[in-house]
Amino acid sequence: MRVGLFVTCLVDLMRPEIGFSVIKLIEGAGFEVVVPPAQTCCGQPAYNSGERRMARDLAEKTLREFEQFDYVVVPSGSCGGMIRVHYGDLFADDPELMNRYGRVRARVFELTDFLVNVAKVQLQPGEFAGKVTYHDACSGLRELGVKSQPRALLAQVGVAVTEMKDCEHCCGFGGTFAVKYGDISTAIVDEKCANISASGAGTVVLGDLGCMLNIEGRLRRTGDSTTRVLHIAQVLAGDV
């Protein structure tokens, strides 16, 4: 079966190595992976900023590029939530688009959800060493129900998770929120960083690059140069 990988803007532009880890995992599960070269943004920044026309154009573009695949996999709860939850709002006034979207929507999965519930992978224990805590990104958790899946996969590769306090609380990124409300965002991420530190873990793992960049950036700016911040795909693929 063919999987269309929606690689996301941030992975493509900031951390392409995560995309290669994702491909390794999906291909290892026995699927063919295709990365449509013309893909761009899912439209979430425009949607959250009230630019519905722009968001609608990007949603239609994404639909055209990905409706050919058996599955669409997204290594981000944020982009996955936009596609799987909010495109319905953008297409609500167009029955033909809604019909096409309805067929695609059921085939859209966040990466760990796909690996657990579709591919049903059994990963081999890896060589990752050290204490790990996990940050639950808002959109993946609340829009897509991603909670147990990453922890189950980490357990398969022999990584035990030490839960931090308030692991389900926001990191303060929220896309344009961090730009519009910088002081509030900083206060939120400072609390997240304090909880990571208090867990005693040397590594925080998560499934959304926006959160990853926000947390890592704040850790480094406040003098923490040792805590590793990793996307779960990197850990599962052994690319760390």
Low-confidence ranges of the chain (pLDDT < 70): none
What confidence score (pLDDT) does residue 215 get? 97
pTM here is 0.95
Domain parsing of the chain, residue ranges: 2-117, 132-236
What confidence score (pLDDT) does residue 175 get? 81
What confidence score (pLDDT) does residue 176 get? 81
Residue type, 10: L
Q: How far apart are CA 222 and CA 191, in angstroms?
A: 12
CB atoms within 10 A of CB 180: 12
Question: HSE of 53 in the Cβ direction (CA atoms, 13 Å)?
Answer: 0
What confidence score (pLDDT) does residue 39 get? 97
What confidence score (pLDDT) does residue 178 get? 86
What confidence score (pLDDT) does residue 221 get? 96
CATH of 132-236, one of 1.10.3470, 1.10.287, 1.20.120, 3.40.50: 3.40.50
Q: How far apart are CA 176 and CA 48, in angstroms?
A: 8
Strand order in the sheet with 108-110: 32-34, 2-5, 71-74, 108-110
What confidence score (pLDDT) does residue 157 get? 97
Structural contact between residues 133 and 203, judged by C-beta atoms closer than 8 angstroms:
yes
